Amino acid sequence: MRTINHWIAGKLSTRAIERSGDVYDPATGEVQAKVAFASPADVDAAVAAAKDALPGWRDASLAKRARVMFAFRELLERHKVEVAKLLTSEHGKVAADALGEVNRGLEVVEFACGIPQLLKGEFSENVSSDVDSYSIRQPVGVVAGITPFNFPAMVPMWMYPIAIACGNTFVLKPSERDPSAANFCAELLRDAGLPEGVFNVVHGDKVAVDRILHHPDIAAVSFVGSTPIAKYIYETGTQHGKRVQALGGAKNHMVVLPDADMELAADAAIGAAYGSAGERCMAISVLVTVGDAADRLIPMLRERIKKLAVGPGHDPKHEMGPLVTKAHLDRVRGLVDQGVAEGAELVEDGRDPKIPGAERGFFLRPCLFDNVTPEMVIYKEEIFGPVLSVVRVPTYDRALELVHANEYANGVAIFTNDGGAARKFQHEVRVGMVGVNVPIPVPMAYYSFGGWKASLFGDTHVHGKEGVHFYTRGKVITSRWPDPRFRGVDLGFPQNR
């Protein structure tokens, strides 16, 4: 069986593999490969390669760094269908969605191509007599990225293109559930002319992550994943002197006011709740319907759910694929059972999916709950599957209270035709990313992505200006080139002539 190994110093590792994990094809339920699990010594080897490569890469000209990014962008564009196929085979998402993921990652690479512009400093002439001040931003050193299963290509690309373009060297620890895209991109970076050791990949679990968090030569860690792990990464990484940004889980609400265009809202909710089988950190998992909105919306949702084509992601007629693993499928099904037991009304029950030819795949059809209340576990927990809960509230104020009472604050959306109500909402809602008649308001690469509260630990969001800030340190230089006419010792306080 194929083994997916670490990528260290520009090639696959030849070190002996002590532990490994199974990589499934979620559409068939079969194990398709083994992935090496890094030992602390494997992580040390990757960090050593990154450290060796640092002096040369940090001092490479901006022109050279930008050229490598442009070349990587071209290669990724040329090979994006192959990357998308890897995503479908290991994650399970349907082909169009997988290609969409690669395209969103490409946008960050394109942003990173502008690094000479992004790293421009400021200059003030004559802050004192013959004295100029200027600011520059320099790379932080060897940095690491630890990423989740749900976007195996895009989430790492939120990190490494910018980190590398800023002059850092990188160690990526992707999800052990869908590890192949990381290695494929490592090969493309090599082919783009990136010197060996600037980008390394170690696969594995907590053992690899813990070594990263404790490693004295790693200066900064970016993490994306679930909230308990994000909190652990932030606390452990910062205790060990690292700069850390750790993005966590979510429970995104979509508020539907009674004046909304209900057909538009129904289309949006279906895509946002069930796209990628609900395994998106920006998926809508709660519909907060105000007044009588639910009475009109729910029949429209049900009609659309019945038509959704669920099946293996490589078949272009399918709109929703399987969940990532059997363990995850069992957890999501268990939560649906619990919702029923708690008294929520399961108006669309996807627990018996019947997918001809894929009976052993990890499938669930879309589930829709009505009359969910905030005390129920299905409301409180991040389900991360194709399960949408409708919570009915009487007023806009109650909807806002509900959003604010939630521990997460990643994304939120409002659907309305009232511009004043939408403006009031975007102003007062305490959530990191807000959509107005847009269900999944993921910022473009040149803005920064991140939530508030339990959805982010740390101060900086990813990509955009904040990404550049995270991967660089500021320095201010004050310089005097004295005018030879004014020589001599002066013990007084410098005068501004």
Which residues are near ligand NAD by CB under 6 A?
A: 146-151, 155, 173, 175-176, 205-206, 209, 224-226, 229, 247-250, 281, 382, 384, 410, 451, 455
Cβ-based nearer residue to ligand NAD, 225 or 467: 225
Cβ-based nearer residue to ligand NAD, 169 or 455: 455
Residue 253 neighbours by CB under 8 Å, 6+ apart: 284, 286, 287, 288, 399, 402, 403, 406, 412, 413
Cβ-based nearer residue to ligand NAD, 42 or 382: 382
State how far the Cα of 220 lies from the Cα of 142, in Å rounded to an integer. 7
Q: Which helix (H) or strand (E) holds 31?
A: strand 30-37
Q: Which of 113, 166, 185, 281 is catalytic?
A: 281
Cβ-based nearer residue to ligand NAD, 150 or 200: 150
Pairing of β 243-247 and β 456-457: antiparallel
In angstroms, give the least distance from the CB of 158 to ligand NAD: 8
In angstroms, give the least distance from the CB of 237 to ligand NAD: 11
281 is catalytic: yes
In angstroms, give the least distance from the CB of 17 to ligand NAD: 17
Structure-token match 């090599």, residue found: 190
- Please choose, from the candidates 372, 411, 370, 416, the residue with its C-alpha nearest in 3D space to the C-alpha of residue 396: 416
Residue 175 neighbours by CB under 8 Å, 6+ apart: 147, 148, 149, 152
In angstroms, give the least distance from the CB of 358 to ligand NAD: 23
Residue 242's φ and ψ, nearest 5 degrees, are -100, 155
From the CB of residue 317, how many other CB atoms can be counted at a distance below 10 Å? 7
- Residue with the shortest CB distance to ligand NAD: 225
In angstroms, give the least distance from the CB of 63 to ligand NAD: 32
From the CB of residue 266, how many other CB atoms can be counted at a distance below 10 Å? 24
Cβ-based nearer residue to ligand NAD, 149 or 470: 149
- DSSP code, position 133: E
Cβ-based nearer residue to ligand NAD, 151 or 415: 151
From the CB of residue 420, how many other CB atoms can be counted at a distance below 10 Å? 8
Is there a contact between 72 and 198 (Cβ–Cβ < 8 Å)?
no
Q: Work out the angle at residue 75's Cα, subtended by the Cα atoms of residues 73 and 77, and round it to the nearest 5 degrees.
A: 70
In angstroms, give the least distance from the CB of 207 to ligand NAD: 9
**Active-site amino acid positions:** 281
